[in-house]
Amino acid sequence: MAKVIVWNLMTLEGFFEGKEKWDLGFHQDAWGEELSELSSDFGHKAGLLVFGRVTYEGMKAYWTTNADEGEGEVKGFMNALPKLVASGKLTGSDWNNTTVTADITGEIARRKAKAGKDIYVFGSAELTETLLAAGLVDEVMIAVAPVTIGRGTPLFKPNAEKRHYALIAARPLKNGTVILHYGVKPAA
């Protein structure tokens, strides 16, 4: 059975983006050789990348045109891996290996039930909440950047139900970023 893993970067105060959509300048405070290696590792473990529509649009724009030269391996897997987009507005995609669905919980449940590589959910706070509420997320991995930005969009929704997590690992990086890896405990 494939695992569903939410992966994101956030600030100390829990924001995964700043005041505006795609305000990700704080990512530079977390990025370095160690996080780059971790990203490459994800590329080898992943069988599917999952995005909400807004994250998909930003990821597609970045990885198909603007990726830095030093991101070659990551750019390669971002473009090659199968991708699933949750959207009621999009009807298709021209980003290779991309499927769009309006039934994201049903599609994730079907794909999760099959043997295979892990399913990674990137960005997508709304999608993360939807999948957590449906009991479809197995693990949450967060890179906490050693920075505060004052205002932004929280990864976890303020009015979401209470959930419990079990620590799998905590790994500090040389630049002060901490990777927190949790298993999602089943609802009581």
The 10s digit of each residue's pLDDT in 129-176 is 999 999 999 999 999 999 999 999 999 988 888 999 999 999 999 999
The domain of 20 spans 4-184
**CATH assignment at residue 19:** 3.40.430.10
* Residue 121 one-letter amino acid: V
**Structure-block tokens of residue 4:** 């569903």
The pair phi, psi for residue 139, each rounded to 5°, is: -140, 155
Above 80 in pLDDT, residue 71? no
One-character DSSP codes across 35-50 = HHHHHHHHHHHEEEEE
* Residue 93 one-letter amino acid: S
Distances (CA, A) of 110 to 19, 106, 128: 36, 6, 17
List Cβ<8 Å contacts ≥24 apart for 171-178.
173/30, 173/32, 173/34, 173/35, 174/32, 174/34, 175/29, 175/30, 175/32, 175/34, 175/146, 176/146, 177/29, 177/30, 177/32, 177/34, 177/35, 177/143, 177/144, 177/145, 177/146, 178/143, 178/144
pLDDT tens, residue by residue, 12-63: 999 998 888 877 888 888 888 888 888 777 778 899 999 999 888 888 887 7
184 forms beta bridges with: 165
Report pLDDT for 70: 55
Domain count, the chain: 1
pLDDT tens, residue by residue, 92-139: 888 888 999 999 999 999 999 988 899 999 878 899 999 999 999 999
DSSP label of 98: E
Report pLDDT for 8: 93
